[in-house]
């Protein structure tokens, strides 16, 4: 009988396991952003305008999602990428309920998370 122990290390806020599987890191991001999404909804109920809600999202939610992403994002499986995109989808739905996701991104001038990380990585590689 063989036992496999999962080694999980937190380095600079990023959870890394011995298979370079970042699912635990995504779990932590989802957990951390849930309370921030709740606050975003409360700010909307209290009457904050679209610009203020967008600034809150970018500063307090999106920054958490993309922290260090050029180093680990492209090692994620499709399910984890969709879980992260779902956070942005939920936040933009709170900000602009009446539009489709694609139209919300266009109106708010936001790229998908995949595009944002890919563009960031291109910028890093150019330097």
Cα distance between residue 87 and residue 93, in whole Å: 10
Q: Please tell me the predicted confidence (pLDDT) of residue 108.
A: 95
Domain total for the chain?
Answer: 1
Is residue 12 domain-resident?
A: no
Query: Which of 106, 99, 110 shows the shortest CA–CA distance to 58?
Result: 110
Token pair belonging to 99: 């539009």
Domain assignment present for residue 7? The answer is no
Among 46, 49, 54, smallest CA distance to 92 is for 54
Q: What is the DSSP string of 26-61?
A: HHHHHHHHHHHHHHHHHHHHTT--HHHHHHHHIIII
pLDDT number for residue 16: 66
The reply to whether 47 falls in a domain is: yes
pLDDT in tens, 4-42: 555 666 655 566 666 667 777 788 889 999 999 999 999
88: in domain: yes
pTM of the model: 0.82
pLDDT digits (tens, 9 = 90+) for 67-115: 877 777 887 889 989 999 999 999 999 999 889 999 999 999 999 988 8
| 81 part of a folded domain | yes
Containing domain of residue 31, as a range? Answer: 21-126
Q: Is residue 78 part of a domain?
A: yes
């Amino acid at each position: 009988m063989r036992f496999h122990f999962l080694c999980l290390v937190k380095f600079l806020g990023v959870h890394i396991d011995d298979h370079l599987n970042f699912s635990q890191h995504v779990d932590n991001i989802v957990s951390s952003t849930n309370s921030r999404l709740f606050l975003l909804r409360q700010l909307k109920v209290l009457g904050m305008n679209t610009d203020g809600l967008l600034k809150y999202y970018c500063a307090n939610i999106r920054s958490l999602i993309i922290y260090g992403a050029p180093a680990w994002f492209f090692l994620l499986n499709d399910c984890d990428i969709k879980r992260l995109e779902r956070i942005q989808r939920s936040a933009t739905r709170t900000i602009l309920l009446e539009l489709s996701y694609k139209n919300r991104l266009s109106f708010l001038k936001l790229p998908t998370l995949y595009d944002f990380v890919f563009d960031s990585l291109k910028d890093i590689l150019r330097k």
